Amino acid sequence: METHQDQESIIPPANRWIRRVKKIKSNKAGLLGAFIIAGLILVALTADLISPYSYKEQDLTMMNSPPSTEHFMGTDEFGRDVFSRILHGSRISVYVGVVSVGLSVLLGSLLGAIAGYYGGLLDRGLSLITDLTWSLPEILVALLLVAVVGAGVECVIIAIALTYWAQYARLIRGQILMLKNEIYVEATRSLGATDFTILFKHLFPNAIAPVIVAATIGIGQAIVLEATLGFLGMGAQPPTPSWGAMMSNGTAYLFISPWVIIFPGLAMMITVFGFNLFGDVLVDIMDIREDTLK
Amino acid sequence: MWQFVIRRLLLMIPIFFVLSVIIFSLIHIVPGNPIDNLIGPGMTKAHEQKLIEKYHLDKPLPVQYAIWLANLFKGDLGTSIIEKRPVTELLRHHLPYSLSLGLTAIALSFVLGVSMGILSAAAKDTWIDHMAMVVALFGVTIPAFWLGLILILIFAVWLNLLPVSGSGTLVSLILPAVTVGLGGAGLIARITRVSMLEVASKDFIVMLHAKGLGKKAILLKHILRNALIPVITILGLRIGWVLGGTVTVEIVFARPGLGQMLITGLFRRDYPVIQGSMLLLAMGIVLGTFLADVLYAFTDPRVRDQHQ
Amino acid sequence: MTLLCLENISVEFTTRDGCVEPLNCIGFDLDDGEILGLVGETGSGKSVTAQAIMGLLPFLDGRVSQGRILFKDVDLLSLSESEYQQIRGNRISLISQNPMTSLDPVYRVGNQIVEGLRLHLNISRSDAAKRAKAVMTSLGIANSEKVFSQYPHQLSGGLKQRIVIAMGLCADPELLIADEPTTALDVTVQAQIIELFKKTTRDRHVGLIMITHDLGVIAHLCDKVVVMYAGTVVERGDVATVFKNPRHPYTLSLLGCIPTFGMAQKTLNAIPGNVPSVRTFPSGCRYHPRCFHAKPVCVKHSPETIRTSKGTLVKCHMFSPDWRKDSEKVG
């Protein structure tokens, strides 16, 4: 494996990426994942154009009607079209997933890099906090944080970002610890490079690959966490459609109109499945050892 | 070995303090005041002042923390502001529901996950392997609350086999435990598979064949035993992740456990209840991690020696 | 009586980039209680030969593509997996090349010996433990009682090697295959282990195939020698004859490579070039790129195996009647 990584680092970065794209093309599961993600983004962008009904248009004559040719995923307790609401709900999911994971990667890799690079007491302190945050169930941390910052989409984003950073901090720290003793770092330092240059110009780009993978899978997890918070009534507030809130409202009518719960859940499952498939393939094409991701 | 256990136990003390500080301080930044919920129309300013004093809400945060901690060591976690009952009493009432669910779910995820992992590794690259891994991936990705709802729909509503909710009987434990357990099983199945395949490629496995051992004996006695070591480590690290599902699942199944106590507390801003349930949940997870660590040290003779 | 006989064995491995054939038509035989040395450079196919006899190839994505392996007149290749299991570790034992990685790290070494014993001999756990300890003591493990209940990582390389040997010996096999059993050890320990092999095989009348690249060991220990090169047997016969009258150019060069203590040699002979890798075996005689005598026929045709006047077998064109006629040299 080590020799493998050595070979990898000899290949110029540009070629490395070309090779990686080629690898995705030859992997069916990865392609499927990529299609699901692309489809989701497309739906989120064009929800207004492609949805057959408005997401808030109530039709009280059509309350809780089962799937039919008119409403092929049925309607909810206000007679709103479930399919249209799912399409619009993807916006919140994508938005929360991408932004919250983006923020947590930023925070996590910064703290992880500093801890790994400087070591010592700073590392110990940061690592204790990181490990504690990481070992607590994300739903507990997120609930606590939502309680602090309040309900609503932005608050959920902050809560998820503050829950997830630990995972990326651990990854980056481990990578930096491994890389900082390499000869080329010593060489750069002897040429007079500052800590900042070494850390962000040399170490960071080499340490980021496993984080990209973890973040891809993390977006899927964040979407689930957002939905879970929404389900508990702490996510996006009505009338904004979010998958979690849709299912939360649906529980009261579980016996009458189960489609209100089944379809948003399926949408979410396919989404998360897509991110996971794509992430699993990234592990393969970026030549990451699986155990670094645990 | 016992030295290691004791050292690992001592490490839980600082962890406990850090956790208690985090939980306490976060809750007190929460905007909104529980007293507001208590003030009825007929209540005077003097009454309100009395309540504030009773719950020490007028004192600075560090002092409040010190009081809370001191009381904690006396076994007093305060009194629920809304329900007017001691938090310890509430915890004693709710804990059994969460404990039974959590333990059953972990046992289920372990048994189910390891069996799926073994099956998958033994039938590597066949349709059995692919199927098992797709199921495992679904287990990991399906949100617990949704799975719970779907299981209710299938087994309670359509098939009418199991109760929708409730908490008293053993039967009522089945659906919630399966819901939480499937997520954990997916995770464990994936790790078991990878770990078993790695062990299977080691030199000593060929030597076991050379000894005349059958495939089954090698798989179950040698490969599995070696492969379980990383599985236990990761289970220890992610025990909270598995148990996190219990919180939402308790809501779905209306099971009066700690999760439900916590969520209700959060909505009512009932500080002592939030602190108490959060702390107990967190300590349960820390304890679980500790047990996994010790188990890990006992299963791997190399690690056992390191600690001697 | 013939204990083991390999006839025209070829082995194929399926890898990600296609098929390779690390053994091509090899053959040799061995009598009861005889010691046979299998010699050759790294990559010549010695270990694959051992794996083929043990029936381990299916577990390594390989298979015997042609030939027969007769063990006491039974063709091992015709056995079912469960019949083979009755033989492995019982009537034929393998002592592996690397003692460091051939023990299960999570079981006590004693139990690993007992496991094999109880698999093949119908004895109780305590009897098996007694027997294991006795074998350990006979192999020069001083405090076998203590070592018995230790884990592999707690033992030194030498001790681990002795455990691996004990595992091979304790079921009283009729044939023992030792794959470079001394490479991981100190020179002094190496000598002890070799003596041990000599003593135990003679005492118990066990057939032994000793795989090594150490010609000194062969001269000291073996009755017969088989010289392998790039997946073929180039020369074989009894040790004294082959060492006194080496015929194949490769055997000659190998013997020339032994530094003789006390003789002030100007240069240490080394064979120019390397052993070709299994993917790039040369055409014709596989030794021709490194051979001083090579002619066009060596490039084109694989040589026949020919019996020499001394009774040894050699696979080289130089000993065919047509050799003189073809006088053109290569290179």
Pick from A192-206, B141-155, C107-121, C316-330: least confident: C316-330
Q: How would you write the pLDDT of chain A (294 residues) with one tens digit per residue?
A: 333 444 444 445 556 666 666 666 667 777 888 888 888 888 778 777 777 777 666 766 666 667 777 767 777 766 677 777 888 888 888 888 899 999 999 999 888 888 888 878 888 888 878 877 777 777 887 887 777 777 778 888 888 888 888 888 888 888 888 777 777 777 777 777 777 777 777 777 777 778 888 888 889 888 888 888 888 887 777 777 888 888 887 777 777 777 878 888 888 888 888 888 888 777 777 665 554 544
Which range has the worst mean pLDDT, B90-94, C171-175, C182-186, C219-223?
A: C182-186
Token pair 């389900």: residue: A231
- pLDDT for the residue numbered C331: 44
CA nearest to A76, candidates A62, A64, A85, A67: A64
> Please, which pLDDT band fits residue B12 given cuts at 50, 70 and 90?
confident
Mean pLDDT score, C168-196:
81
Q: Which chains touch A (3 or more CB pairs under 8 A)?
A: B
Burial of residue B209 (number of CB atoms within 10 Å: 0-12, 13-18, 19+): buried
Q: Does C87 touch chain B (CB under 8 A)?
A: yes
Using a pLDDT cut of 90, give the percent of chain B over it: 5
Which residue in A127, A254, A276, A293 has the most chain B C-beta atoms within 10 A of its own C-beta, making it the best mutation to test that interface?
A: A254
Please tell me the predicted confidence (pLDDT) of residue A28.
75
**ipTM of the modeled complex:** 0.84
Decide which of C107 and A238 is more confident. Answer: C107
pLDDT digits (tens, 9 = 90+) for B183-218: 889 888 988 998 898 888 888 898 899 888 888 889
Contact between B203 and C96 using a beta-carbon 8 Å cutoff = yes
Q: Cβ of C119 and B211 within 8 Å?
A: yes
**pLDDT for C40-73, tens place per residue?**
888 888 889 999 999 888 888 888 999 999 998 8
Q: Are strands C92-95 and C74-75 parallel, antiparallel or unpaired?
A: unpaired
How many Å lie between the alpha carbon of A253 and the closest alpha carbon of chain B? 11
Please check whether residue B220 touches A, CB under 8 A: no
The pLDDT score that the predictor gives to residue C175 is: 92
Q: Give residue-wise pLDDT tens across range B225-253.
A: 888 888 887 777 777 777 777 888 888 88
SS3 A246: helix
Where are chain C's structural domains? 2-91+171-330
C291 — pLDDT class (breaks 50, 70, 90): confident
Query: Which chain C residues touch B302 with a CB distance below 8 Å?
Result: 105, 151, 153
- Phi and psi at residue C225, to the nearest 5°: -135, 145
Amino acid at B133: M
CB proximity B244 to A under 8 Å: yes
Residue C146 CB contacts under 8 Å (≥ 6 apart), including other chains: none
Q: How confident is the model at residue B118 (pLDDT cuts 50, 70, 90)?
A: very high
**Strands of C35-39's sheet in order across:** C92-95, C175-179, C207-212, C35-39, C224-229, C232-238, C313-315, C305-307
Given an 8 Å threshold on Cβ–Cβ distance, is A269 in contact with B29?
Answer: no
Min Cα distance B299 → chain C (Å) is 8
Q: Do A255 and B281 touch (CB under 8 A)?
A: no
More confident: B143 or C258: B143
Using a CB-CB distance cutoff of 8 angstroms, which residues of chain B are in contact with residue A273?
137-138, 141
Which chains form contacts with chain B, at 3 or more CB pairs under 8 Å? Answer: A, C
Q: Which chain B residues touch A224 with a CB distance below 8 Å?
A: 141, 143
Q: Which residues of A touch B21 (CB under 8 A)?
A: none
Which homologous superfamily does the CATH classification assign to the domain defined by B87-306?
MetI-like (1.10.3720.10)
C284 touches C297 (CB < 8 A):
yes
| Contacts for A95 with CB less than 8 Å, ≥ 6 apart | A44, A153
* Class of domain C2-91+171-330 as given by CATH: alpha beta
Adjacent-strand bridge partners of C307: C313
Nearest to A137 among B149, B237, B240 (CB): B240
- Please tell me which residue of chain A has the smallest CA distance to B19: A132
pLDDT at A171: 85
pLDDT of amino acid C328: 55
Q: Is the pLDDT of residue C74 over 80?
A: yes
Chain B window 83-142: which residues touch A at a Cβ cutoff of 8 Å? 137-138, 140-142
The pLDDT value recorded for residue A4 is 41
Q: Say whether residue C116 is in contact with chain B using an 8 A CB cutoff.
A: yes
pLDDT at position C35: 92
User: B157, A265: Cβ pair inside 8 Å?
Assistant: no
Q: Give the Å distances, CA to CA, from C64 to A21, A243, C7, C45, C95.
A: 39, 59, 11, 13, 21
Q: Kindly list the residues from chain C whose CB atom is less than 8 angstroms away from the CB atom of residue B203.
A: 96, 98, 101-102
Cβ <8 Å between A251 and B274: no
Residue C314 pLDDT exceeds 50: yes
DSSP string over A180-240: TTSHHHHHHHHTT--HHHIIIIIIHHHH-HHHHHHHHHHHHHHHHHHHHHHHTT-SSPTTS
Assess whether pLDDT exceeds 80 at residue C36.
yes
Question: Do C101 and B204 count as a contact with CB atoms less than 8 A apart?
Answer: yes
* Nearest-neighbour CA in chain A from B212: distance (Å): 31
